[in-house]
Amino acid sequence: MTDLSSLPRPEPRPGLEHEYAELGARLNGLLPCVEWPLHLPWIDAILRLKAMRGATILAHSYQSPEIFHGVADVTGDSLALAEAAARCDSAIIVFCGVQFMAETAKILAPDRTVLIPDPAADCSLARSITAADVRALRRRHPGVPVVSYINTSAAVKAESDACCTSANALQVVESMASPRVIFLPDRYLGQYIAAQTTVKLILWEGSCEVHEQFSAAQVRQTRAQFDAQIVAHPECTPEVLAEADFVGSTTAMSGWLRKQRPSRVALVTECSMADNLKAEFPDIAFIQPCNLCPHMQRITLPNIYACLRDLQHEVTVDPQIAARARQSLDRMLAIGRRDRV
Ligand code: 13P
Ligand code: SF4
């Protein structure tokens, strides 16, 4: 075990601003400027500790900019992070995201130590359904395959035939080669996919507490007031999606921006995503009808530091559940990403 007594404390060292000038420039405009000097000592301490531990930090696109740009080794959507975990060769993975994502990383990298800075980082979709619910659905619809969104617990994945993300949901559903598929738990993503396929989807009543808050009236007002293009995540309601110029997964949204280069855009999704993208698209004005995911926001620089320092909050998954969940995840990974714009 590393001797932690000699580790630098997260207090400013002389010259830090100069040492991290490039990062400071990248974060300029992504954060209120008063925050940068407060974050800097934590970023410095985490990067040093990460190197000492030989750890890799994975961070979801909904993490705040000081994490996404400041300390992460790999950033992306849930599919990208699952793929990164599967091929990660560090002994320790620190997962900056929510619990179901960290569990997925553990299932795909069973011999790595996976840590989550705050184990209470939950998800309303993952909470909406249990393994017993899936077994009951199977009894009600015998022989119908189950596709579960990655936003589910390991136990639900274990009861499923395949997993998907918004980057491949349509292709995973169609790969079941069945006229009917049980699709869970997000009813809005399910409705969005159902409109694109002849497969009849049996849906669950789950929803994302962040995306379902957007309203069609709010989107119409944003377009009228700011003359902005509207880009929405398929976890939004059908009424919101009907107002959008483009609907796509987290990664497809940034692909669309790269291709279309609108002068003004409203990303109808979690707020940090637009903050993070400002660095790549300084020429685009992001109008932010802002909804933050309270679960994603539980991850902070201080709890990343503590998690690395004390190797705390290890993610564990029952090996039998993990083995069955892995089959569902492998089926998804074999299909891969299908959201190229
Ligand atoms: P992605 O699969 O696009 O990363 O989204 C995950 C999520 O939680 C969306 O709210
Ligand atoms: Fe879950 Fe919604 Fe938060 Fe994504 S944004 S983690 S779906 S609650």
Tens digits of residue pLDDT in 39-85: 999 999 999 999 999 999 999 999 999 999 999 999 999 999 999 99
pTM score of the predicted model:
0.95
> Going by CA atoms, what residue is nearest to atom 6 of ligand 2?
123
CB 57 within 8 A of CB 43: no
Question: Does ligand 2 lie within 6 Å of residue 151's CB atom?
Answer: yes
Closest ligand 1 atom to Cα of 123: 8
> Going by CA atoms, what residue is nearest to atom 7 of ligand 2?
208
Residue type for position 305: Y
Specify if 319 maps to a domain: no
- Note whether 135 and 188 are same-domain residues: yes
Q: Provide the number of structural domains found in the chain.
A: 3
> Going by CA atoms, what residue is nearest to atom 2 of ligand 1?
78
Q: In what order do the strands lie in the sheet with 264-268?
A: 246-247, 229-232, 264-268, 285-287
Is the pLDDT higher at 8 or at 276?
276
Question: Does ligand 2 lie within 6 Å of residue 98's CB atom?
Answer: yes
CB 337 within 8 A of CB 167: yes
- Note whether 192 and 258 are same-domain residues: no
- Note whether 79 and 110 are same-domain residues: yes
Q: Which 3-state string (H, E, C) describes 50-93? A: HHHHCEEEEEECCCCHHHHCCCCCEEECHHHHHHHHHHCCCCEE
pLDDT band at 186, cuts 50/70/90? Answer: very high
- Note whether 114 and 151 are same-domain residues: no
- Note whether 144 and 43 are same-domain residues: no
Specify if 80 maps to a domain: yes
Out of 182, 209, 236, a domain closes at 209
268: three-class secondary structure by DSSP: strand
- Residue 102 CA to residue 113 CA, distance in Å, equals 11
Ligand 2 centroid, distance to 169 Cα (angstroms) = 17
- Note whether 243 and 256 are same-domain residues: yes
Specify if 334 maps to a domain: no
Question: Does ligand 2 lie within 6 Å of residue 124's CB atom?
Answer: yes
Ligand 1 centroid, distance to 69 Cα (angstroms) = 18
Specify if 220 maps to a domain: yes
Closest ligand 1 atom to Cα of 150: 2
Tell me which ligand sits closest to the C-alpha of residue 99: 2
**Ligand 1 pocket, CB under 6 A:** 77-78, 151, 165-166, 208, 235, 249-250
Closest ligand 1 atom to Cα of 60: 4
Ligand 2 centroid, distance to 199 Cα (angstroms) = 26
* Angle, alpha carbons 244-250-251 (nearest 5°): 110
User: In the predicted model, what is the mean pLDDT of the chain?
Assistant: 95
CATH code at 90? 3.40.50.10800
Out of 190, 209, 228, a domain closes at 209
- Note whether 86 and 55 are same-domain residues: yes
Best CA proximity match to 131, nearest among 334, 325, 333: 325
| pLDDT tens-digit readout, 187-246 | 999 999 999 999 999 999 999 999 999 999 999 999 999 999 999 999 999 999 999 999
| pLDDT tens-digit readout, 109-162 | 999 999 999 999 999 999 999 999 999 999 999 999 999 999 999 999 999 999
Specify if 186 maps to a domain: yes
- Note whether 99 and 14 are same-domain residues: yes
Closest ligand 2 atom to Cα of 98: 6
- Note whether 179 and 236 are same-domain residues: no
Residue whose tokens read 């989807």: 201
- Note whether 166 and 229 are same-domain residues: no
- Note whether 97 and 193 are same-domain residues: no
> Going by CA atoms, what residue is nearest to atom 1 of ligand 2?
123
Specify if 77 maps to a domain: yes
Task: Give the pLDDT confidence score for residue 7 in this predicted structure.
Answer: 46
- Note whether 190 and 221 are same-domain residues: no
Mean pLDDT of 81-90: 97
pLDDT band at 9, cuts 50/70/90? Answer: low
Closest ligand 2 atom to Cα of 100: 6
Specify if 341 maps to a domain: no
Question: Does ligand 2 lie within 6 Å of residue 296's CB atom?
Answer: yes
Specify if 32 maps to a domain: yes
Structural domain that includes position 170 = 125-209
